[in-house]
Amino acid sequence: MVQRVPLPFNILFKSFIKSASSTINHLIIKVGVYMLLGLAFFGILVGFSSGFFGIGGGTILVPALIYFGYDIKMAIGISVMQMIFSSMFGSYVNYKAGVLQLNSGIFLGFGALFGAALSGFIVSALSHLALLVLFAAILAMSIYKFFTAPIVPKSEPNESKTLLFIVGVVIGAIAISTGTGGAIFLTPVLVGFMNWDIKKAVGTTLFFIIFGSISGFISLSANGLVDYDAGVAVGIGSLMGVYFGVKLSHRVEKKVQKRALLILYVIMFILTVNKILSELNVL
């Protein structure tokens, strides 16, 4: 009788299941069943938003975590960690669907790697209120520029590799420092200033987030600003959400997607301003 040799895929799959089971058991013991389910639920919502809007999810997750009692700096660390999960899987789905522009995304990504490496120093140096004000100011500019940009570009898109790298550095440093993947700032820049098609911009920004989130995670971890257990719980949930978000983004019209992005930006701006006013004891 010939003995069957397990296929490499089967071995890897069984190892993954065993590792995942061990991780979940550890999380249940460490953070509790209800907290784990709550964080995973947030992960699903954030993942869906990441896939549909091409964002890192920090614009939703950071305010939510702050509302539930996390300090903004720790909330940023959790947010950046889950971005690694959602951005990598979402970009894979986009690539399989043929809507990911790898050439442009790589230059943006390398710039983000350099810029995001500064995030740990920026977060450590700025106060809680200063980070909130920085986030709100850049978000307001993004809303204005994205709102005024035409749905169909009127001229050829600017795909200068040098300019893309510089944009990646600046947005990588600012975005990761405020707990976002950068898409909430990058998409308006690509659409409003560089004449990119909105579908192309959304797909490319999700890929861009991979670079910034990995670099930012390393920097924030070195500064003790990451709750690993919460980050894994949210990240696992985001894998499920990002798949359905990406699939839906491929189906909707550009006009609908732009309106949805604007609504998201305005909601996040209102929540952030409300938090700033609360910090100043105005509310």
176-227 tens-digit pLDDT: 676 666 777 788 888 888 888 888 888 888 888 888 788 778 888 888 888 8
Q: How many residues does this entry show for the chain? A: 283
Q: Is 155 left (phi over 0), alpha (psi -120 to 50) or beta?
A: beta
Q: What is the pTM of this model?
A: 0.70
Which contiguous run of DSSP H or E holds residue 111? helix 102-116
Report yes or no on 128 lying in a domain.
Answer: yes
Residue 11 belongs to some domain of the structure: no
The answer for residues whose C-beta is within 8 angstroms of residue 213's C-beta and 6 or more apart is 56, 80, 81, 83, 84, 87, 116, 176, 181
Does residue 16 have a pLDDT over 60?
Answer: no
CA distances from 57 to 86, 94, 178 (A): 9, 17, 12
- Do the domain assignments include residue 14? no
- Res 7: pLDDT: 44
4 falls within a domain:
no
Q: Look at residue 64 and tell me if it is in a domain.
A: yes
Does the pLDDT at position 2 exceed 50? Answer: no
Q: Angle CA(264)–CA(175)–CA(224) in degrees, nearest 5?
A: 120
pLDDT at position 12 over 80 = no
Q: Is residue 253 part of a domain?
A: yes
Q: What is the mean pLDDT of residues 264-275?
A: 83
Give a yes or no: residue 261 inside a domain: yes
Give the pLDDT band (50/70/90) at residue 1: very low
Q: Which domain holds residue 231?
A: 27-279
pLDDT of residue 11: 55
Q: What is the mean pLDDT of residues 13-23?
A: 51
- Does residue 21 fall inside a structural domain? no
Domain count, the chain: 1
